[in-house]
Structure 1
Amino acid sequence: MRFTDQCVVILGGNAGIGLAAARQFAAEGARLALTGRNPQTLHAAAKECSALAVRADMGDVAQTHAALAEIAEALGGIDVLFVNAGVGGFAMVPEVTETFWDEIHTVNLRGAFFAIQHALPLLRDGGAIVITGSIGSLAAVPGNVAYAAAKAGLRAMARIVAKELLPRRIRVNLISPGPTDTDIFKRDASAHDIAAMRDMLSAVVPMGRMGTAEEVASAALFLASKEASFINGVDLYVDGGCLELG
């Protein structure tokens, strides 16, 4: 097993890609700690994966800092940090408000950066950081300006962090999912709307279907593992060919 006795922290590990990754890390022997905003789903995920659960909102830097300190005290240093928590939202350029912009960036860019910064003293040399980006950072999708800008900033930030951490042999990589079948797009939607959305999203993927949370999580585990020991600073598209073949 690739992660036996390694301490793996998943920020945003209570649903979707984060939960799929938690299940896979647990199956490969990791000692897990999960954070999330929803206490019910967080504790359910932690129970399923035999993980430490620490409630924290990525948009609140103080909460993330406190969560990382609690995790380090309970489990020791961190071998793998998976920065997965994020929020979405669509608005056309004329409709973007300062509040909307800040809500997206506070979590997806500001929160992610300071989470990594606060984790650095806890990360063991030779460890790995994996960050969930998005192909939206490169695809010009109308209505996606705030989210795309945040994820593009995250991509640029990750490459610089990777360069600065070279002396410590800590690798930093991104996974950028394309359309992925998670609960996010299903919230407060009817079965008919969900089916229509799935058909619409599948139609833009050259492979003809949406990805699964498990497929994206598998890519994250690969980048976190020693199998990717010579991979650093990449943005790995897990998108069914959207960017390269679309």
Structure 2
Amino acid sequence: MNKLNGKTVLITGGSSGIGLATAKLFSAEGARLAITGRDPERLAAAKEQLGGDTLTIASEAGCLNDIETLLSQVKQHFETLDVLFLNAGVAEPTPLEMATEEQFDHIMRVNFKGVFFTIQKALPMLNPNASIIVTTSITNRSGTPNFSIYAASKAALRSLVQSLALTLIGRGIRVNAINPGPIDTEGFNRLPLPGEVFQAIKDDIEARSPIKRFGAPDEVAKVALFLASDDSAYVVGEEIVVDGGMTLVCLP
């Protein structure tokens, strides 16, 4: 317990799923928290679960104006940051023949552009020995026919983590990634697919998984805690896979 005692943490996409599970764990470990989300109702529900001391901010992850406003509020509240967990993202099916420019721009803006500029604009607030954690996805190393834009955005993040890890380690700032496989989150369950198609995809994933189930957000949160804490002081530029073995059977 208390692995994050006294540390200040910002979690984007912290109102549900992996982000909320991580916020709960970090809070239990002594962190002072700020979380973001797009839905005011989910943010309010998250604040109720996390406690009144949690700073909750409605923010669009891919909008530079929102990023600047977010970090201004965090600076006013905390002054500095010890942990920046960039977890906000969007996933939607984009079959090649049906994908639109609007979809392409939206996914890349939220999943890649938003992460890059949040890190850039948060730099003046980051304490020495700060930890930056980025959520990628196992799709960034495998062919994903109907989610090609999403997969490409996550592959861009994998590359970004490696480059920024070298850029920032001289300042004492570590950059690493968590690479989740199939996780049973609200976001996954809200994929815009017909019910029978969604169930078929879920059944197929469970059948192909070596562990024969989806992961839980709490299981990813524990890896985030490792990367946020001093336990990972010698881990730089890595991408830790949390997927129940899926990449062992799904990658070429």
Is TM-score (shorter-chain normalized) higher than 0.5?
Answer: yes
Match of 2:147 among 140, 144, 149: 144
2:237 is the alignment partner of 1:236? no
1:166-205 aligned at under 5 Å gives the runs: 166-187=169-190, 196-205=200-209
CA shift for structure 1 position 19: 0.3
Distance in 1, Cα, partners of 2:135 & 2:35: 15
**How far does the alpha carbon of each residue in 1:78-136 deviate from its partner, in whole angstroms, 9 at most, with x for none?**
00000000000112222222111111101000011111111111110111000000011
Match of 1:94 among 86, 93, 97: 97
**How far does the alpha carbon of each residue in 1:162-209 deviate from its partner, in whole angstroms, 9 at most, with x for none?**
111111111100001111111123237798776554322211211111
Q: Is the 8 A contact 1:185 1:194 kept in 2?
A: no
Alignment-derived partner of residue 72 in structure 1: 75
2:18 is the alignment partner of 1:14? no
Distance in 2, Cα, partners of 1:100 & 1:136: 18
**Distance of aligned partners of 1:194 and 1:96 in 2 relative to their CA distance in 1, 3 Å threshold:** closer
Q: Is the 8 A contact 1:91 1:143 kept in 2?
A: yes
2:144 is the alignment partner of 1:158? no
Instruction: Normalising by structure 2, report the TM-score.
Output: 0.93
Query: What secondary structure sits across from 2:70 in the alignment?
Result: helix
1:118-133 aligned at under 5 Å gives the runs: 118-133=121-136
2:43 is the alignment partner of 1:42? yes
Structure 1: unaligned runs, 5 residues or longer = none
2:119 is the alignment partner of 1:116? yes
Alignment-derived partner of residue 25 in structure 1: 26
Structure 2: unaligned runs, 5 residues or longer = none
- The one-letter amino acid paired with 1:204 is R
Alignment-derived partner of residue 213 in structure 1: 217
Q: Percent identity?
A: 40
Q: Is the 8 A contact 1:8 1:31 kept in 2?
A: yes
CA shift for structure 1 position 55: 1.0
Distance in 2, Cα, partners of 1:227 & 1:191: 42
Aligned residues: 246
**Distance of aligned partners of 1:245 and 1:195 in 2 relative to their CA distance in 1, 3 Å threshold:** closer
- The one-letter amino acid paired with 2:75 is A
- Superposed structure 1 runs of 4+ greater than 3 Å apart: 188-198
Q: Which moved more, 1:98-107 or 1:195-204?
A: 195-204
CA shift for structure 1 position 238: 0.5
Query: What secondary structure sits across from 1:237 in the alignment?
Result: strand
